[in-house]
Chains A and B, each alone.
Chain A
Amino acid sequence: MALDTVTNASATPDFVLPFEQLGLKADEFEKIKTILGRRPTGSELAMYSVMWSEHCSYKSSKIHLKQFGEKAPNSDALLVGIGENAGVVDIGQGYAVTFKAESHNHPSFVEPYQGAATGIGGIVRDILTMGARPIAVMDPLRFGAADAPDTKRVLPGVVAGIGGYGNCLGLPNIGGEIVFDETYAGNPLVNALCVGVMRHEDIKLAQAHGAGNLVVLFGAKTGGDGIGGASILASETFNTSKPTKRPAVQVGDPFAEKVLIECSLEIFAEDLVVGIQDLGAAGISCATSELASAGTGGMNVQLEKVPLRDPSLSPEEILMSESQERMCAIIEPSKLGRFMAICKKWDVTATVIGEVTSGDRLHITFNGELIVDVPPRTVAHDGPVLTRPMSRPEYLDTLKAVTLEKVETPEAIKAAVLKLIAAPNIADKSWVTKQYDKYVQGNSILAQPEDSGMIRIDEQTHLGIAISTDANARLSFVDPYNGVKLALLESCRNIATSGAKPLAITNCLNFGSPEDPGVMWTFAETVRGLADICLEMGLPVTGGNVSFYNQTGKVAILPTPVIGVLGVIQDVRTRTSMSFIEAGLELFQLGNTDDNFTGSEWAHLHGQMGDQAPTPDIDHETRLVKLLLEGQKYFAAAHDISNGGFAATISEMVLKSNIGATIDLPAQFIPGGVTAGLFAETPGRVVVAVKSSDVAGLTSLAESHKIALHKVGITGGDALAINGASIPLTQLRAAFTETFPKLFG
């Protein structure tokens, strides 16, 4: 077809465009025609279709996400909020930290290595775009049943992709999660979180200002990879009965990204950009329309100037290409020479492709012919907003209470603990984490399997940050409103257990199809719960990501809102690890256990879900966080109790320390007895190890914060002994460590 110019579009109003194949609904297509006063050109249609996709426009979630603004707590910490590439938080001493999580779920199912790799690449560029040096990554992952054949295809590929890309960028991988559940079988979740640091004055924004300023594309050349990825791949379920619309997943080149990072940081250091945006989903369409929309003028772009890897690409394809490792900067003409010199130093291709204008239109030409003439805001920010039907799903009325046999005799306790810690959701994950570099940059203070990842920010003042990601999807399934609250509280507890103070949150909300009213209801409840808890805890939401359509046929994934909490620690030398370094320490449990197994791993191992999520006790959790922060001086070790309950927590501690412990759970004082004491996942509990000389201090601290304190044992020996059951550490370690190698080689 000849070039579909604006003139041609005006002259041929009845020309049929394949808007449905591009994922647009008939009414959305009509709206585009109304905006433009004519039919769109092929290039315009490409832009609108990709920018108005669920992935880019948040059309199903927008009306719910408004609550994060409406219920935002007062916070001095937030420097840049929702809407930019990533939120920015003040951590003191002139430092600003930016962090964000994103999903790359569907591409990682299609092509695990490249899907996961480019997931890392994308989130790292978001952080870089804010003006920050990326300093760490984390990966919350979800897979189908651990022993399912497809999990053996997907998991090793995803792990290799995360490692292959992240290691090559020089970013320590300091944490994350790996959880298995059958509902993720066709829809694995690959979420990636990146954190970066900068000085306050170095924050950059994605805005095009100043008529006459230049639009410069720099980084990799544009190819045919990922064309339509954003609109089609991310918004279509994998239905085998329909002809596949699955295009190639983007292919990553971490080396190109590494030099792009260093090149960009050098450019930032010389203050050479007015605005900057990375190219991710929707490529040039997104970058140009968002920069122009957020700025004060219009923009002219000469599309034929875009350097191509594949010279056969059409203008529409150039606009939609999701080739990785590209950035778009707005710079003053006087700074072009210096900008180009830095790019040349790093062998990064940089090309002026347009300029900012004083008008209010985004004009894109191809060899002199006008092919796009749109108000940029209508593309970038005025996408459709849907009010999807919602209804409380029926499954909620069919949930059954957990019924389990008691575990009381020493033999039963031993067998149960060994069974629990060998379960894929609890077992040692070092088969995975050993494939990630946790040392690079030399500032990693804590990394997986610790409660949080911790990074030193300043070598002189010892200022640091901690990050934890958490989600308990089974609790969100049973009670989406409280489930997400519990996830956030757990994440805060993880941060405080390591010695840092929770400061701000981000989120990555993974759900099934928004066209299913039941899924939409669980999503709405989740957002309501998250907005409420953030207000209650006084933690600002810095940004987030929504991933819908994680669904195969009628089977949706468990609602999986992943919460990332950022904390700050004034002196990283005071941090607390989960491993104790000596025998003879006294072990205490902070917080009470109750007899509720809903959503627990122990119930899951018995094929049960339960019917009643624990009620979040915000008052208790707030006091516990305070106690944890004030008690750091007493703690020789501390570890949160979450997945797998006390049994998993104490097993992880003794194995990390390679020092045993003798535990005596006073069954008569625990509702549900030893079984609950070991396996219930009652929130708001932490195990701490203290020297005998610090017991008095801890006791009085617990009293002043009104937190229950239970002596549970003492460290030492070469076995984990629990109420008369003795498990040699060698046997415990074998059970804990054999699972992953057996499953994945």
Chain B
Amino acid sequence: MRVGVVTFPGTLDDRDAARAVEYAGAEPVSLWHGSDDLKHVDAVVLPGGFSYGDYLRCGAISAKAPIMKSIIVAAEHGFPVLGICNGFQVLAEAHLLPGALTRNADMHFLCTDQTLKIENNSTMWTNGFTLGQEILIPMKNAEGNFNCDDATLHELESEGRVIARYVGVNPNGSRDAIAGITNKRGNVVGLMPHPEHAIDLLTGPSKDGLTFFTSLLHSMIAG
């Protein structure tokens, strides 16, 4: 199975995401922001970083990149997309996911090992978890504070589209301690923390992050 990893100017965690894809047993394929060619991949990861230096708004410029036009069309037909951190911000700016990621409540960049609770294990990227499972993965961002209007929040909560929530202290002020969400169809997932940094105990605090990538393989094989 081929999983595309998109590089925008300023993307940082593309090589990390590719490594995680490989650890999970799939083939990572490098995709370039300036091309609309998805190279026949089966899924796409939008990795973390500071694409376009976070200028204008985080993810705003990248959301207009040629590769995103192809991803938006494909996602509307059920193509699996995982946006991590800046990738989540890009998905929100591209309106594949609702809401916005705003400045952390304490205004600082925060890098920490964060406990999350899995709240939806039926998406293409989370089906390998058990419902309510607590996982430990790094988070690192300055704009991870998930915000949306009350109606959207109600919709997300009532439809079970919050996929993961922060456990313990809410690290950035996100509404309902939301760490990640999915679209109605469950193929597009946005997550602020970084599962690609938790794939082995040598370089990460746990191996919990790998399950996001193996979940994709399971859903592709099953589907």
Query: Which residues does A use to contact B, with CB under 8 Å?
Result: 160, 163-164, 167-170, 253-256, 258-259, 345-347, 433-445, 456, 459, 572-573
CB-CB under 8 A from B12, the residues of chain A are: 168-170, 258, 440
By size class, the interface of chain B is: 20 to 34
Residue in A346, A439, A444 whose Cβ sees the most chain B Cβ within 10 Å:
A439
Q: What is the bound-complex CA distance between A563 and B126, given in angstroms? A: 47
| Residue contact A439 to B50, C-beta cutoff 8 Å | no
Q: Let me know if B203 is at the binding interface, CB within 8 A.
A: yes
CB-CB under 8 A from B112, the residues of chain A are: 434
With A439-B204, A445-B203 given, name 8 new contacts (CB 8 A).
A163-B109, A168-B50, A255-B9, A255-B50, A255-B53, A442-B16, A444-B203, A445-B202
Q: How many A-B residue pairs have CB under 8 A?
A: 82
* Given A258-B10, A445-B202, A445-B203: A438 and B19 interface contact (C-beta under 8 Å): no
Q: Let me know if B110 is at the binding interface, CB within 8 A.
A: yes
Measured CB to CB, the nearest residue on chain A to B108 is A435
Q: Let me know if B57 is at the binding interface, CB within 8 A.
A: no
| Residue contact A346 to B9, C-beta cutoff 8 Å | yes
| Residue contact B10 to A255, C-beta cutoff 8 Å | yes
Q: What is the bound-complex CA distance between A362 and B140, given in angstroms? A: 48
| Residue contact A347 to B204, C-beta cutoff 8 Å | no
Residue-wise interface mask of B (23-57) relative to A, using a CB-CB cutoff of 8 A (1 in contact, 0 not): 00000000000100000000000000110111100
| Residue contact B9 to A441, C-beta cutoff 8 Å | no
Give, as a whole number of angstroms, the nearest-CB distance from A367 to chain B.
Answer: 34
| Residue contact B10 to A168, C-beta cutoff 8 Å | yes
Q: What is the bound-complex CA distance between A441 and B14, given in angstroms? A: 9
| Residue contact A434 to B110, C-beta cutoff 8 Å | yes
| Residue contact A164 to B109, C-beta cutoff 8 Å | yes
Give, as a whole number of angstroms, the nearest-CB distance from B166 to chain A.
Answer: 15
Query: Which 9 residue pairs are nearest across A and B when measured between Cβ atoms?
Result: A255-B53, A170-B12, A442-B16, A439-B197, A168-B50, A437-B140, A435-B109, A439-B138, A163-B109
CB-CB under 8 A from A435, the residues of chain B are: 108-111
Q: What is the bound-complex CA distance between A466 and B53, given in angstroms? A: 30
Q: Which residues 39-83 of B sit at the A interface, judged by CB distance below 8 A?
A: 49-50, 52-55
* Given A259-B10, A434-B112: A572 and B202 interface contact (C-beta under 8 Å): yes
29 contacts between A and B (CB under 8 A): A160-B108, A167-B109, A168-B10, A168-B12, A170-B12, A170-B13, A253-B53, A255-B52, A258-B9, A258-B53, A434-B110, A435-B109, A436-B111, A437-B109, A437-B140, A438-B111, A439-B111, A439-B140, A439-B194, A439-B203, A439-B204, A440-B140, A442-B16, A442-B19, A442-B196, A442-B197, A442-B203, A444-B203, A456-B203
* Given A434-B112, A441-B15: A168 and B53 interface contact (C-beta under 8 Å): yes
CB-CB under 8 A from B19, the residues of chain A are: 442, 459
Give, as a whole number of angstroms, the nearest-CB distance from B203 to chain A.
Answer: 6
Quick one: which of B16, B34, B54, B138 contacts A441, CB cutoff 8 A? B16
Q: What is the bound-complex CA distance between A238 and B10, given in angstroms? A: 37
Give, as a whole number of angstroms, the nearest-CB distance from B176 to chain A.
Answer: 23
| Residue contact A440 to B16, C-beta cutoff 8 Å | yes
Measured CB to CB, the nearest residue on chain A to B137 is A439
CB-CB under 8 A from B108, the residues of chain A are: 160, 434-435
Q: What is the bound-complex CA distance between A256 and B204, given in angstroms? A: 29
Q: What is the bound-complex CA distance between A167 and B50, given in angstroms? A: 9
Q: What is the bound-complex CA distance between A441 and B16, given in angstroms? A: 6
Q: What is the bound-complex CA distance between A439 and B16, given in angstroms? A: 10
| Residue contact B111 to A434, C-beta cutoff 8 Å | yes
* Given A170-B13, A443-B203: A437 and B49 interface contact (C-beta under 8 Å): no
Q: What is the bound-complex CA distance between A445 and B203, given in angstroms? A: 5
Q: What is the bound-complex CA distance between A438 and B49, given in angstroms? A: 13
Residue-wise interface mask of B (1-15) relative to A, using a CB-CB cutoff of 8 A (1 in contact, 0 not): 000000001101101
Q: What is the bound-complex CA distance between A437 and B49, given in angstroms? A: 11
Give, as a whole number of angstroms, the nearest-CB distance from A288 to chain B.
Answer: 28
Q: What is the bound-complex CA distance between A163 and B52, given in angstroms? A: 17
Residue-wise interface mask of B (174-205) relative to A, using a CB-CB cutoff of 8 A (1 in contact, 0 not): 00000000000000000000101100001110
Measured CB to CB, the nearest residue on chain A to B52 is A255
| Residue contact A255 to B203, C-beta cutoff 8 Å | no
Give, as a whole number of angstroms, the nearest-CB distance from A575 to chain B.
Answer: 9
Residue-wise interface mask of B (97-116) relative to A, using a CB-CB cutoff of 8 A (1 in contact, 0 not): 00000000000111110000
Give, as a whole number of angstroms, the nearest-CB distance from B149 to chain A.
Answer: 30
* Given A435-B109, A439-B197: A254 and B16 interface contact (C-beta under 8 Å): no
Give, as a whole number of angstroms, the nearest-CB distance from B47 to chain A.
Answer: 10
Q: What is the bound-complex CA distance between A253 and B52, given in angstroms? A: 11
Give, as a whole number of angstroms, the nearest-CB distance from B17 to chain A.
Answer: 9
CB-CB under 8 A from B138, the residues of chain A are: 439
Q: What is the bound-complex CA distance between A345 and B32, given in angstroms? A: 10
Give, as a whole number of angstroms, the nearest-CB distance from B123 to chain A.
Answer: 24
Give, as a whole number of angstroms, the nearest-CB distance from B67 to chain A.
Answer: 14
Measured CB to CB, the nearest residue on chain A to B7 is A262
